[in-house]
Structure 1
Amino acid sequence: MSKSIESETLSTQIRDSLRDDILAGRWAAGDKLQLVALTKHYKTSSTVIREALTRLVGDRLVVLKPNRGFFVPTLSLDEIKDITELRCVSEEFGIGLAVKRGDLAWESELIAAHHTLERTPYRNESDNGELTEAWDRAHQAFHAKLLEACGVPVLIDLASTLSDLAQLYGRWAGRATRFMDRDIAQEHRDILAAALDRNADVASGLLRTHYETTLQAILKSGVEKETAERGLEKAKA
Structure 2
Amino acid sequence: MISANSEIPVVERIRYAILDGTWPPGQRLGPLALAEQLDTSSTVVREALTRLAGESLLEAKVNRGFFVPELDLQEFRDVTELRCVTEALALRLSIERGDLQWETTLLAAHHRMQKTPRRLPDCNRVNDEWRRAHWGFHHALLAACGCEPMLKIAASLAQSTDLYRAWAAPAREASKRNVEHEHQDLIEAALSRDAETAIALLCQHYRETARVVLDAGLIAKAEVKGK
TM-score normalised over the length of structure 2:
0.85
Partner of 1:129: 124
The equivalences for 1:1-237 within 5 A come to 18-19=14-15, 22-23=18-19, 25=21, 27-40=23-36, 44-126=40-122, 128-178=123-173, 181-231=176-226, 233=227
Kept in 2: contact 1:87–1:159 (CA 8 A): yes
CA displacement at 1:43 relative to structure 2? 5.5
**What is the alpha-carbon distance in structure 1 between the residues aligned to residue 144 and residue 34 of structure 2?**
38
CA displacement at 1:190 relative to structure 2? 0.6
Q: Deviations over 1:65-102 (max 9, x none)?
A: 34432111111110110110111110001100101111
Kept in 1: contact 2:98–2:144 (CA 8 A): yes
**What is the alpha-carbon distance in structure 2 between the residues aligned to residue 159 and residue 25 of structure 1?**
25
Unaligned runs of at least 5 residues, structure 1: 1-12
Structure 1's 16 and 99: CA in aligned 2 closer, same or farther, altered over 3 A? Answer: farther
Deviates more, 1:55-64 or 1:106-115: 55-64
Structure 1's 26 and 99: CA in aligned 2 closer, same or farther, altered over 3 A? Answer: farther
Aligned to 2:121, the other structure's residue is in SS state: coil
**What is the alpha-carbon distance in structure 1 between the residues aligned to residue 208 and residue 117 of structure 2?**
21
Partner of 1:10: none
Kept in 1: contact 2:168–2:174 (CA 8 A): no
CA displacement at 1:161 relative to structure 2? 1.6
**What is the alpha-carbon distance in structure 2 between the residues aligned to residue 57 and residue 188 of structure 1?**
29
Deviates more, 1:35-44 or 1:190-199: 35-44
CA displacement at 1:160 relative to structure 2? 1.2
Partner of 2:3: none
Question: Would you say how many aligned residue pairs link Structure 1 and Structure 2?
Answer: 219
Kept in 2: contact 1:129–1:178 (CA 8 A): no
Kept in 2: contact 1:124–1:132 (CA 8 A): yes
TM-score normalised over the length of structure 1:
0.82
RMSD of aligned Cα (Å): 2.3
Kept in 2: contact 1:30–1:74 (CA 8 A): yes
Kept in 2: contact 1:38–1:49 (CA 8 A): yes
Kept in 2: contact 1:98–1:149 (CA 8 A): yes
Kept in 2: contact 1:176–1:221 (CA 8 A): yes
